[in-house]
Structure 1
Amino acid sequence: MHSAAQEKVFDFRILGPIEFHVSGRPVPVPGARQRALLCLLLLESGRTMTAARLIDGIWGERPPETAAAQLRICVSRLRKLLAASGLPGSISTETGGYRLQAPEGCVDVQRFGGLLREAADAESGGRRADAAALLREGLALWRGPAADGLESPAVRAAAAQLDEERVAALERYFDLEIQLGRHHPVIPELMSCAAAHPFREQLHCHLMLALYRAGRQVEALQAYRELKRRFADELGIEPSLPLRIMETKILGQNPELSGGQSVQLLAG
Structure 2
Amino acid sequence: MLSAARQGQEGSTTGAKLEYQFLGPLTMRSGNSSISVSGERSRKLLAGLVVHANQKISIERLIDIVWGDDPPATARQQIQNRLGRLRLMVSHNAPGQRIQRHGDCYQLDAAEECVDGLRFRKLCGEAEIAHRHGHLPHATRLLRQGLTLWRGNALQDINSNALQADAVRWEESRLHAIEQLVNMEFSQGKSAAMIPELQSWIAEYPYHESLHCRLAEALHEAGRTAESLAVVRELRQRLDAELGIAPGAAVHDLERWILVGQESTSSTVLQLDRDAADALRRALTETTRALSILAIALA
TM over 0.5: yes
Q: TM-score normalized by structure 2? A: 0.79
Partner of 1:233: 241
In structure 2, the partner of 1:27 is 35
Q: Kindly indicate whether the alpha-carbon contact (under 8 Å) linking 1:51 and 1:68 is maintained by their aligned counterparts in 2.
A: yes
**TM-aligned CA deviation for residue 216 of structure 1:** 0.8
Query: Unaligned stretches of 5+ in structure 1?
Result: 255-268
CA deviation vs aligned residue, 1:132-169 (integer Å, no higher than 9, x gap): 11111100000111112110112222112211211221
**CA contact under 8 A between 1:119 and 1:132: conserved in structure 2?**
yes
Aligned length: 251
Q: Per the alignment, in what secondary structure is the counterpart of residue 222 of structure 1? A: helix
2:21 alignment counterpart: 13
Rounded to whole Å, the distance in 1 between the matches of 2:91 and 2:245 is 55
Between the aligned partners of 2:96 and 2:128, the Cα distance in structure 1 is 36
Give the TM-score normalised by structure 1.
0.87
- Whether 1:139 aligns to 2:147 is yes
More divergent stretch after superposition (78-87 vs 67-76)? 78-87
User: What are the ranges of 5 or more consecutive residues in structure 2 without an aligned counterpart?
Assistant: 1-11, 263-299
Aligned to 1:110: 118
Distance verdict in 2 for CA 1:203–1:89, change over 3 Å: closer
> Letter of the aligned partner of 1:13 in structure 2?
Q
Question: Which of structures 1 and 2 has the bigger CA Rg?
Answer: 2
Q: Deviations over 1:47-82 (max 9, x none)?
A: 211111111111111111110010011101111211
Asked whether the 8 Å contact 2:65–2:162 carries over to 1, the reply is yes
* Structure 2 SS opposite 1:99: strand
Name which of structure 1's ranges 171-180 and 200-209 shifts more when overlaid on structure 2.
Answer: 171-180
- Output aligned runs, 1:20-99, within 5 Å: 20-87=28-95, 90-99=98-107
- Give the 3 Å change call, closer, same or farther, for CA 137–175 of structure 1 in structure 2: same
* Aligned residues: CA RMSD: 2.0
Match of 2:179 in 1: 171
Aligned to 1:126: 134
Matched residue of 2:36: which SS? coil
Partner of 2:8: none
The answer to whether the 8 Å contact 1:146/1:159 transfers is: yes
The alignment partner of 1:91 has SS state of strand
CA drift of 1:90 comes to 0.4
Three-state SS of the structure 2 residue aligned to 1:27 is strand
